[in-house]
Amino acid sequence: MTNEIRVQKYGGTSVGSAEKIKKIATKIKKLKDNDPNEKIVIIVSAMGKTTDDLVKLAYICAKTPNPREYDALISTGENISASLLAMCLIEIGIDAISLSGAQAGILTEKSHSKAKVIKVNPKRIHQALDQNKVVIITGFQGINEHEDITTIGRGGSDTSAVIIASSLNSSLCEIYTDVEGVYTTDPRIVKNAKKLSEISYEEMLDLAHLGAKVLHPRAVECAKTNNIKLHVRSSFSDKEGTIVKEASSMELNKTVTGIAVNKTEAIVSIIGVENKAGVAGEIFELLANKNINVDMIIQSVKYGNLNSISFSIEEDDLQKTLKAANTLITKLHAKEIKTDQNIAKISIVGVGMTSKPGVAAQMFKALGKHAINIKHITTSEIKISCVINRDQADEAQKILHETFNLHK
Ligand code: ASP
Ligand code: MG
């Protein structure tokens, strides 16, 4: 390659202990031994579950933690792993320096907890690189115009890495994690799931939103916007992982790239509301005001002029949602509210399906053949999702993996 700056990100499990951090240091040393002049920038997450623990501490001390202090606290996990990694490198003879988000010039919005990054001023990063230091940067954090520490949302280190790669004009960002790449589906459920050598941004985005934990959706979005390739790979092996990039014509030959299953949602149905303008707006405005995220929305006309509107939410939000929905019963003269928690959403994703008719039929027929009833269906350009019984989800996942030949 040219003298592009190498950008690598190590996730929480990869830096989960001092021993693991030492291993990462050895890995980085090998790169330096290979090419002493290579410029290397490393972004780290907090060690293991550190951030979760910090969040718990905050809520022991305050019912509603002060936002500024909350960010000041939960950002510290990354400081620990960054300085430890720098120490490990220095110990084995590799010059290194850790930089906090602020020191690395990561400027964010004023708001706390989920601040967006406005820009990166990588002056200090370049200075350190010019001194031939490996630069270790804390993920997840930045600084706002008041010089207060901000965080950019849980799981934000992937996004930090992509944004930093972009500010350094790198065309690739390596994401090191505890799995070997992106799989056709969860290999714990489907034994012959295959590691993908590449996947398009769009497909990865869908899979990430559907719950594939390997990459944060915002990081994928950001990579797509800035045209940065991602290489998702394991911290503890040298095997090639999965490249996330622009869809190529070759990929379009494949109909389905991956299958995702979500088992954490519930469906709420408001039955028998009037079929008139403004009803849906009323319902979803109320939910939005209560900060309840709605995933699928299904409206159907039932008895005469009455509608039923169903929607899916995170199961954790169910009580909150029912409380809100009950206030609507009187207001909208709805007949009743039903809930269904025995659901799973299984989705097939692939850019190739845009140009191939019959994919939906193939999916529905395969499920039907095995007596798996479809409760709801939603589709987008490159995705078809079916809501089925949760206790049939694993079986459905195996069947669809087979149906679309993903093991081949
Ligand atoms: N440590 C942060 C979190 O746990 C950021 C990250 O790991 O990506 O959310
Ligand atoms: Mg993480």
For residue 46, the CA-to-ligand 1 centroid distance in Å is 6
CA angle 30, 25, 140 (to 5 degrees): 125
For residue 7, the CA-to-ligand 2 centroid distance in Å is 16
Q: In what order do the strands lie in the sheet with 383-389?
A: 258-262, 343-349, 383-389, 376-380
Mutation test residue for ligand 1: of 45, 49, 74, the one with most atoms within 8 Å of CB? 45
For residue 104, the CA-to-ligand 2 centroid distance in Å is 20
The tens-digit pLDDT sequence of the chain (408 residues) is: 468 999 999 999 999 999 999 999 999 999 999 999 999 999 999 999 999 999 999 999 999 999 999 999 999 999 999 999 999 999 999 999 999 999 999 999 999 999 999 999 999 999 999 999 999 999 999 999 999 999 999 999 999 999 999 999 999 999 999 999 999 999 999 999 999 999 999 999 999 988 788 999 999 999 999 999 999 999 999 999 999 999 876 556 678 999 999 999 999 999 988 888 888 898 999 999 988 999 999 888 766 788 889 999 999 999 999 999 988 888 888 889 999 999 999 999 999 898 888 999 999 999 999 999 999 999 988 999 999 999 999 999 999 999 999 998
Nearest of 160, 154, 117, 162 to residue 138 by alpha carbon:
160
pLDDT of residue 150: 98
At 300, is the secondary structure helix, strand, or coil? strand
For residue 311, the CA-to-ligand 1 centroid distance in Å is 30
Given the CA of residue 216, which atom of ligand 1 is nearest to it? 8
Q: Which residues line ligand 1 (CB under 6 A)?
A: 12, 45-46, 51, 77, 139-140, 154-157
Six-digit token string for 246: 């622009």
**CA–CA separation, 210 vs 182, rounded Å?**
13
Given the CA of residue 140, which atom of ligand 1 is nearest to it? 5
Q: Do 113 and 148 meet the contact criterion of CB atoms below 8 Å apart?
A: no
Q: Do 165 and 172 meet the contact criterion of CB atoms below 8 Å apart?
A: yes
pLDDT of residue 188: 92
Q: Tell me the pTM.
A: 0.90
Given the CA of residue 156, which atom of ligand 1 is nearest to it? 8
Given the CA of residue 46, which atom of ligand 1 is nearest to it? 1
DSSP 188: T
What is the CB-side half-sphere exposure of residue 150 using CA atoms within 13 A?
23
pLDDT of residue 263: 94
For residue 39, the CA-to-ligand 1 centroid distance in Å is 25
For residue 177, the CA-to-ligand 2 centroid distance in Å is 9
**CA–CA separation, 349 vs 382, rounded Å?**
6
Task: Give the number of other Cβ atoms within 10 Å of residue 29's Cβ.
Answer: 17
End-to-end Cα separation, the chain, in angstroms: 32
For residue 215, the CA-to-ligand 2 centroid distance in Å is 8
Given the CA of residue 159, which atom of ligand 1 is nearest to it? 8
**CA–CA separation, 211 vs 194, rounded Å?**
18
Q: Residues with beta carbon < 5 A to ion ligand 2?
A: 11-12, 45
**How far, in whole angstroms, is CA 179 from its chain's centroid?**
15
Ligand at minimal distance from the CA of 51 is 1
pLDDT of residue 303: 67
**CA–CA separation, 391 vs 395, rounded Å?**
8
- Partners of 369 in the β-ladder: none
**CA–CA separation, 105 vs 96, rounded Å?**
18
pLDDT of residue 318: 96
Element (H, E) at 223: helix 217-225
**CA–CA separation, 168 vs 235, rounded Å?**
23
**CA–CA separation, 51 vs 360, rounded Å?**
41
- Partners of 245 in the β-ladder: 200
Mutation test residue for ligand 1: of 140, 177, 235, the one with most atoms within 8 Å of CB? 140
DSSP letters spanning 106-156: EEE-SSSSSPPEEEE-THHHHHHHHTTPEEEEESSEEE-TTS-EEE--TTT
Smallest CA separation from ligand 1 atom 6, residue:
155
Bridge-based pairing of strands 294-302 and 265-274 is unpaired
Six-digit token string for 216: 């944060």
For residue 51, the CA-to-ligand 2 centroid distance in Å is 10
**CA–CA separation, 75 vs 86, rounded Å?**
18
pLDDT of residue 291: 86
Smallest CA separation from ligand 1 atom 1, residue:
46
Ligand at minimal distance from the CA of 53 is 1
**CA–CA separation, 264 vs 266, rounded Å?**
7
